[in-house]
């Protein structure tokens, strides 16, 4: 039986979730509410947020200067504290790195990297004052092994993972912990929201093997409860990561075939 050093009960915890209006964020918000947490949700669509029973809505754009700090303050005004921050909002870009739009790339890094950083900087002082807290950053398996049809997206998720690891060490002794989440294929609207391009046909056809947002959210919440440092979901993803590290030439060849079929 696994032994966990710091079991977390989500009941009564105040959780701030970004990208809460759909997909993984929505599933996390509902799953946390079901466990008795108090949830504040951030998304650009106020109507979608207000349609989620039990969520305190904070509509706005995470990339707008000053908004992350205001969102944290609104949560503090409503609940008095923030126990857990879930940086879930993100966007993709299907474009070769050597010709991708620099404007689109900047937009992606703003949401995937700078927004979680801004949210973290806004919430950590309050967590330090209470002596406890958890920062959850939702990345991707693409942040553990580069997917060549998503090279720049992979780079943004690698950056998020490195930030998460460094933050954990920086905050050692404060009572604040970090959790990095690396889903593989989740059946959400990710592909329809990308800033440009389309996935390879073989990837699109793999939707039938994707996990649901609810399955992903359950893995995230169990990771929170069990005080994990990293969650890869589904667990088969660990085998893919191991293969990429142990047999890089073989995995590169497989990825190259997928990518060449896409760009042909």
Q: What is the DSSP letter of 208?
A: G
pLDDT in tens, 78-98: 999 999 999 999 999 999 999
Contacts of 146 (CB under 8 A, 6+ apart): 154, 155, 158
What does pTM read for this prediction? 0.94
pLDDT of residue 199: 84
CA distance linking residue 104 with residue 221, whole number of Å: 32
pLDDT of residue 4: 47
Extract the tokens encoding 11: 């009941």
pLDDT of residue 1: 41
Q: Which CATH superfamily is domain 14-263 in?
A: NAD(P)-binding Rossmann-like Domain (3.40.50.720)
Catalytic residue among 94, 153, 158, 185: 153
Q: What average pLDDT does the segment 46-72 reach?
A: 98
- What phi and psi, each to the nearest 5 degrees, are found at residue 86? -110, 105
pLDDT of residue 260: 81
pLDDT of residue 208: 60
Concerning whether 153 is annotated as a catalytic residue, the answer is yes
Instruction: Please name which of 138, 112, 85, 119 lies closest in space to residue 193, comparing C-alpha atoms.
Output: 112
State the angle between helix axes of 151-170 and 115-130 in degrees (0 to 180), rounded to the nearest 10: 20
pLDDT in tens, 174-212: 999 999 999 999 999 998 899 999 888 777 666 667 899
- Listed by start position, the domains of the chain span 14-263
């Amino acid at each position: 039986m696994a032994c966990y050093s710091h079991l977390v009960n989500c009941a009564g915890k105040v959780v701030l979730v970004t990208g809460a209006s759909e997909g993984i964020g929505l599933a996390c918000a509902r799953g946390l509410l079901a466990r008795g947490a108090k949830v504040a949700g951030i998304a650009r669509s106020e109507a979608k947020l207000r349609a989620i029973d039990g969520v305190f809505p904070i509509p706005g754009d995470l990339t707008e200067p000053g908004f992350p700090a205001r969102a944290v303050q609104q949560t503090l005004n409503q609940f008095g504290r923030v126990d857990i921050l879930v940086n879930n909002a993100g966007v993709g870009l299907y474009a070769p790195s050597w010709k991708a739009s620099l404007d689109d790339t900047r937009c992606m890094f703003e949401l995937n990297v700078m927004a979680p950083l801004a949210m973290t900087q806004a919430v950590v002082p309050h967590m330090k004052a209470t002596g406890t807290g958890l920062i959850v950053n939702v990345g991707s398996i693409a942040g553990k092994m580069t997917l060549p049809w998503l090279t720049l997206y992979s780079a943004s998720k690698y950056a998020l993972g490195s930030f998460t690891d460094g933050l954990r060490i920086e905050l050692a002794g404060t009572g604040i912990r970090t959790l990095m989440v690396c889903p593989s294929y989740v059946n959400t609207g990710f592909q329809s929201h990308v800033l440009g391009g389309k996935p390879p046909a073989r990837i699109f056809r793999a939707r039938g093997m994707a996990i649901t947002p609810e399955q992903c959210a359950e893995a995230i919440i169990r990771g929170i409860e069990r005080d994990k440092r990293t969650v890869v979901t589904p667990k088969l993803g660990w085998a893919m990561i191991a293969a990429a590290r142990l047999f890089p030439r073989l995995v590169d060849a497989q990825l190259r075939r997928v990518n060449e079929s896409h760009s042909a």
